[in-house]
Amino acid sequence: MAELIFFTGTMDAGKSTLALQTNHNHAARGRTGRIFTSHDRAGDAVLSSRLGLVHEAIEVTPDLDFWRHTVDALTHGARIDYFICDEAQFYTPEQIEQLAKIVDELQLDVFCFGILTDFRTRLFPGSARLVELADRTEVLQVEALCWCGKRATHNARTEDGVMVTEGEVIVVGDVEGAGPAPVGEPAEVAYEVLCRQHHRRTLTAARAQAVSLAPEPLPFG
């Protein structure tokens, strides 16, 4: 029986790497799949891993109808056994419902990969619908770590090195870090994974280091 499976974890947990590995494993057994992604750090229509692996993909825009796309392809003689859907948190709830329909009505396996919550600690609508509809939700066993060494559970966004908790939900960045942007230019956006405690305190690695290097107050004054 075909399944809708949602693989989830924080940034840096290896989701895109697993997506590419899953595609490789199924293709090696003679199955034919299609790869989808949205807002990948490497640009449009490409699925990339931080390990350097890259594969062409179909860019998922809000107006993409998965059901119509699939039926049209099958009607024209294409063979499709499975879908790899990376960055699934950016898909609309309606698109997730279309993927569930594809599994049930067309018996195609759909493997989705994405993060649960945004930098505000709120569920992405696409991820929320996946949790509601998926046959299985698998939490990745590769644990990303906060700078303190604890398991990272939250995704933090920084702008010019300062953690923010408000703003546009979808802003492309990476976890490599970013420095201050030149005066007059848009803020440099980066992401960092933190444990819940340090996300609550907005205590990023850079800020923690700055605090540790601050001079001790004198015992008088």
Looking at the predicted structure, is the pLDDT value of residue 113 above 50?
A: yes
Q: Are 55 and 35 in contact (CB under 8 A)?
A: yes
Q: Which of 56, 59, 87, 192 is catalytic?
A: 87
Q: Which of 127, 109, 122, 102 is nearest to 15 (CA)?
A: 127
- pTM for the predicted model, two decimal places: 0.81
Q: Which of 173, 156, 153 is nearest to 164 (CA)?
A: 156
Residue with the two structure tokens 């604890």: 150
Which domains does the chain carry?
A: 4-139 (3.40.50.300), 154-213 (no CATH)
* Confidence tier at 107 by pLDDT (50, 70, 90): very high
For residue 158, what is the enclosing H or E element? strand 154-159
Evaluated on CA atoms 163, 165, 166, 171, the torsion sign reads: positive
pLDDT digits (tens, 9 = 90+) for 23-32: 999 999 999 9
Q: Classify 126 as helix, strand or coil.
A: helix
For residue 47, what is the enclosing H or E element? strand 46-48
* Confidence tier at 215 by pLDDT (50, 70, 90): low
pLDDT digits (tens, 9 = 90+) for 2-61: 999 999 998 888 899 999 999 999 999 999 999 999 988 777 888 888 777 888 999 999
Instruction: Indicate if 87 belongs to the active site.
Output: yes
Q: Classify 64 as helix, strand or coil.
A: coil
CA 1 to chain centre: 27
pLDDT digits (tens, 9 = 90+) for 131-182: 999 999 999 877 789 999 998 889 999 988 889 988 888 776 555 554 544 4
